[in-house]
Amino acid sequence: MKWHNSIQFKFAVFVLIAIMFIPIVMPLTSMVTYIPGVFIEYENTPYEGFNELTEMWHSEARNLEGKEDSKIKKRLQELNDKYPKSEIFWVDHTGRTRDTFSYSGTLPGKWSVPYTIQFMKDSFDADPYTVVAFLGKKKDSGFMVIKVDRILLEPPVQRLSEGYNYAFIIVFLAFMLLFALLSYLFIRSIRKRLLRLKEAMEAKKGSGIPLAIKISKMDEIGQIEESFNSMVQALEGSRLREIQEEKLRRELIANLSHDIRTPLTTIRGHLNSINQEIDTAKGKAALETIDHKIDFLSGLIDNLFSYTLLSAGKYPCHLNRVEMNRFIREAAAGWYPILEEHEIEVELQMQQQPAFWTVDPNWIERIIDNLLQNVVRHAREGKFVEISLTDNQLIFKDKGRGFSQESKQKGAGIGMVIIDLMVREMGLEWEIESTGTGTTIYIRKLDASGSCL
Amino acid sequence: MKILYLEDDLEIGKWVKEYLESRGYEVDWFTSGLHLPEREDGYDLTILDVMLPGLDGFSLGKRLKNKHSQMPIIMLSARSAIEDKLEGLEFADDYLTKPFHAEELAKRVEVHLRRYDKSLSSKLRIRHLEIDQKTNSIINTITNEEIILTGKQFQIFKYFLRHLNQILTKEQLFEKVWGDQYIEGDHKTLMVHIRYLREKIEQNPSEPEIIETIRGIGYRVKG
């Protein structure tokens, strides 16, 4: 970043301008206002100054010495044309007023001595500026007079100042406005870029990580943008690593599961062969127990791995709107043959109206599986299970010997822990009521349900 | 009936092959999917293990299904994660997790062969009915008369036959047969059709033996 690009530098420049505003802008305004005027006006006026006019008038008068009246008249006419707004007349050697040019006042036909003195007194240092010149060197050959408004003879700057006072104020205001505008633009551009950065931070892609931003300028905000981008990159990287890790973990668990299930399958295969060799009732019963234990072990493996994933937060919950009547009916249809095999009567109490719950269907299925598994394993002697759905609860009721009895058999434990984790994570609530004659489990939808924790 | 069977575990492979052969199937068993390509024609059903050396079961299954859409595929897997099941069922007809019972596998093989009209005999017997799946005729073996069903009744009955031993919920039945989204009032329509169907095929329609009612859940036809 170059020093002159920094916001700090720019801000310092603005402060400096603000402090120096009057001392710098006043002369600046004068320069801008007058200099063009001075140059332009010089070219357009025949008047150059008081002295110049006096000299010109005397030299003209000398030149007209002894000339005929008509020549004098003609020359004075020319001068009147050359100097606009001038008033000219001449008086001959007899004291008679001769020709007047653009003269606005009244003149006597014959100049008396008192009048002449009065005229000279009035004209001295007065406005209009008056020049009186004798025609020639001799004082008795008459005189000629020119009167010009003083303003026309002042130096140009002076002459302009009246009309240009307004211009001065306007230019001064213009400078002030320009300064205000520049400050505004400066602040606005910073504000805009900050807002853009804020929006970029808030906007998220599907992964929940903001997108990188285009770097606008290499100043302090540009540096923030740069850091922001490297942060986004770091987040992206860690998310990818996390996905990678999750995949590896799942892979590992799938492999472990495979490694345990394969020998279990082999055991079952051999069990099958033995079954054909053994005829005694006791032997058959033992084989059946082994067979049940294989299922038990395999279920345990499932639960163990699910628990590992769940507790590590690697079994994400994906909520959906699920029609529970239909969902439970289908789950029950899947379980019916197993329950039937164990002579467990199934009673379903669904609702007439569609009941939508916002849950993860895979998780709900898992919960139902675990609960019915428990009924088959630990409440078989009740020979009954009722699943009912009310407005906001899902109820599982069996007539087994109750939970206190069941919990003595390890294995129910992890299944229940998984149910507990899943229920709570989906924002539901559950409760177990267990007596010696049966267990009832309530899963409740709360008002706050509908989002993963 | 020829079954293509892929399994890398030798003990399980031997056991399943022997069991299925004892049930009258001809079983070709391979331990990997690498040597298959030219020989996969002419099988009626494939049983596929998911974790195979070389090509994995999912890819192999998808390839087989693309080539032979009429060949049922049963996936056999030690992976029990729901994701794996769902991935498998995208192309496979069934998914069985290890450790499985050989009887269950044999039962499912039978059901899938029947679904694709490939069972050992085209004649199926359910209690007093004899159903010829080729000609779609249903004979009452007691009176030796043919039972004529209406279009919807036949569709319902056929759907039961394709899913023998499976409990079908009223939603599933209605949506498959009528092809409409199930709404609550549709239950009556279905009940009426099933009553008429029972009147035609059951010996005593008030105590049905063929189409069982599973209270609160649905209906089932046992094979």
My answer on whether A395 and A432 are in the same domain is yes
Residue B82 to residue A329, Cβ atoms within 8 A: no
- Nearest chain B residue to A269 by CA: give it: B15
Query: ∠ at Cα A198 (A2, A241), nearest 5°?
Result: 90
How many other C-beta atoms can be found within 10 angstroms of the C-beta atom of residue B153?
20
Helix (H, G, I), strand (E, B) or coil at B49: strand
Query: ∠ at Cα B124 (B118, B125), nearest 5°?
Result: 160
Sequence-distant (6+) residues with CB within 8 A of A44 are none
Which of these, B113, B108, B115, B10, lies nearest to B53 by C-alpha position? B10
Rounded to a whole number of angstroms, the CA Rg of chain B reads: 19
Say how far apart CA B74 and CA B63 lie, in whole Å. 14
- Asked if residues B23 and B39 have their Cβ atoms less than 8 Å apart, the reply is no
CA neighbours closer than 13 Å in the CB half-sphere of residue A126: 11
Number of H helices, E strands in chain A: 13, 11
With beta carbons under 8 A apart, name residues in chain B contacting A294. Answer: 99
Written as six digits, the tokens of A14 are 């603005």
- pLDDT computed for residue A41 by the predictor: 55
Residue B97 to residue A298, Cβ atoms within 8 A: yes
- pLDDT computed for residue A408 by the predictor: 44
pLDDT, tens digit, for every residue of A267-293?
999 998 898 888 899 999 999 889 888
- pLDDT computed for residue B134 by the predictor: 77
Which of the listed residues A261, A284, A314 is the one where a domain comes to its end?
A314
Say how far apart CA A24 and CA B6 lie, in whole Å. 94
Residue B12 to residue A262, Cβ atoms within 8 A: yes
- Nearest chain B residue to A365 by CA: give it: B82
My answer on whether A380 and A437 are in the same domain is yes
Query: ∠ at Cα B133 (B132, B139), nearest 5°?
Result: 30
My answer on whether A241 and A284 are in the same domain is yes
pLDDT, tens digit, for every residue of B23-79?
999 999 988 877 775 666 788 899 998 877 777 888 888 988 888 888 899 999 887
Helix (H, G, I), strand (E, B) or coil at A56: helix
Q: Which of A257, A265, A294 sits opposite B79 (nearest CB)?
A: A257
Domain assignment present for A219: no
**Per the omega criterion (within 30 degrees of 0), is the bond before A128 cis?**
yes
Domain assignment present for A59: yes
Q: In the 8-state DSSP scheme, what is residue B39?
A: G
Residue B81 to residue A366, Cβ atoms within 8 A: no
Domain assignment present for A174: yes
- pLDDT computed for residue A17 by the predictor: 82
- In terms of residue numbers, what domain contains A391? 317-445
What sign results for the dihedral spanned by CA atoms A131, A132, A138, A139? negative
CATH of residue A333? 3.30.565.10
pLDDT, tens digit, for every residue of A134-192?
888 777 778 888 988 887 777 765 666 666 777 778 888 888 888 889 889 988 988 88
Domain assignment present for A323: yes
Question: Do the strands B26-30 and B2-6 form a parallel or antiparallel pair, or are they unpaired?
Answer: parallel
With beta carbons under 8 A apart, name residues in chain B contacting A302. Answer: 80
As a whole number, the mean pLDDT across chain A is: 84
Domain assignment present for A32: yes
Residue B98 to residue A294, Cβ atoms within 8 A: no
Element (H, E) at B130: strand B129-132
Span B172-194, mean pLDDT? 87
Annotate A414-426 with b (16+ C-beta within 10 A) or e (fewer).
bbbbbbebbbebb
- Residue A341, judged by CB atoms within 10 A of its CB (0-12, 13-18, 19+), counts as exposed
pLDDT at residue A406 tops 60: no
Looking at the complex, does the CB of residue B185 fall below 8 Å from at least one CB of chain A? no
Domains, chain B, in order of start with CATH, read 2-115 (3.40.50.2300), 123-221 (1.10.10.10)
B193 pLDDT tier (thresholds 50, 70, 90): very high
My answer on whether A292 and A348 are in the same domain is no
- Asked if residues A98 and A69 have their Cβ atoms less than 8 Å apart, the reply is yes
My answer on whether A135 and A275 are in the same domain is no
Question: In what side-by-side order are the strands of the sheet with A87-91?
Answer: A97-101, A87-91, A143-148, A129-134
My answer on whether A321 and A310 are in the same domain is no
Say how far apart CA B17 and CA B2 lie, in whole Å. 12
Written as six digits, the tokens of A191 are 């504000």
- Nearest chain B residue to A361 by CA: give it: B82
pLDDT at residue A226 tops 70: yes
Which of the listed residues A197, A223, A255 is the one where a domain comes to its end?
A197
Span A206-224, mean pLDDT? 81
My answer on whether A23 and A172 are in the same domain is yes
Residue A329 to residue B215, Cβ atoms within 8 A: no
My answer on whether A36 and A162 are in the same domain is yes
My answer on whether A418 and A328 are in the same domain is yes
Looking at the complex, does the CB of residue B186 fall below 8 Å from at least one CB of chain A? no
Structural domain count of chain A: 4
With beta carbons under 8 A apart, name residues in chain B contacting A366. Answer: 82
Domain assignment present for A224: no
Domain assignment present for A103: yes
With beta carbons under 8 A apart, name residues in chain A contacting B101. Answer: 268
Domain assignment present for A204: no
- Mutate: best of B97, B98, B181, partner A, most A CBs <10 A: B98
Looking at the complex, does the CB of residue B84 fall below 8 Å from at least one CB of chain A? yes
Looking at the complex, does the CB of residue A317 fall below 8 Å from at least one CB of chain B? no
ipTM over 0.90: no
- pLDDT computed for residue A42 by the predictor: 56
Which of the listed residues A265, A297, A314 is the one where a domain comes to its end?
A314
Q: Which of B81, B98, B217 sits opposite A336 (nearest CB)?
A: B217
Residue A265 to residue B81, Cβ atoms within 8 A: no
- Tokens 């010009």 locate to A148
- Closest CA of chain B from A326, distance in Å: 7
User: Interhelix angle for B82-89 vs B57-67, to 10°?
Assistant: 20
Looking at the complex, does the CB of residue B9 fall below 8 Å from at least one CB of chain A? yes
Span B136-147, mean pLDDT? 90
My answer on whether A75 and A187 are in the same domain is no
For chains A and B, CB pairs below 8 A equal: 105
My answer on whether A267 and A387 are in the same domain is no
Which is more confident, B84 or B58?
A: B58
Residue B184 to residue A354, Cβ atoms within 8 A: yes
Q: Which of B12, B14, B218 sits opposite A333 (nearest CB)?
A: B218
Residue A258 to residue B79, Cβ atoms within 8 A: yes
CA neighbours closer than 13 Å in the CB half-sphere of residue B182: 20
A43 pLDDT tier (thresholds 50, 70, 90): low
Which of these, A125, A84, A118, A124, lies nearest to A101 by C-alpha position? A84
Window 357-416 of A: residues touching B by CB (8 A cutoff) are: 362, 365-366
Residue A330 to residue B15, Cβ atoms within 8 A: no
Say how far apart CA A337 and CA B217 lie, in whole Å. 12
Looking at the complex, does the CB of residue B172 fall below 8 Å from at least one CB of chain A? yes
With beta carbons under 8 A apart, name residues in chain B contacting A274. Answer: none
pLDDT at residue A348 tops 90: yes
- Closest CA of chain A from B22, distance in Å: 13
Say how far apart CA A191 and CA A453 lie, in whole Å. 37
Residue B217 to residue A329, Cβ atoms within 8 A: yes
Beta bridge partners, A396, equal A387, A441
- Asked if residues A40 and A34 have their Cβ atoms less than 8 Å apart, the reply is no
pLDDT, tens digit, for every residue of A83-119?
888 889 988 888 888 888 888 888 888 888 898 898 8
pLDDT, tens digit, for every residue of A235-265?
999 989 988 988 888 788 878 888 888 899 9
My answer on whether A306 and A274 are in the same domain is yes
Window 39-78 of B: residues touching A by CB (8 A cutoff) are: 51, 78
With beta carbons under 8 A apart, name residues in chain B contacting A275. Answer: none
Q: Which of A254, A266, A348 sits opposite B11 (nearest CB)?
A: A266
Which of these, A70, A52, A72, A50, lies nearest to A62 by C-alpha position? A72
Rounded to a whole number of angstroms, the CA Rg of chain A reads: 56
Say how far apart CA A268 and CA A250 lie, in whole Å. 26
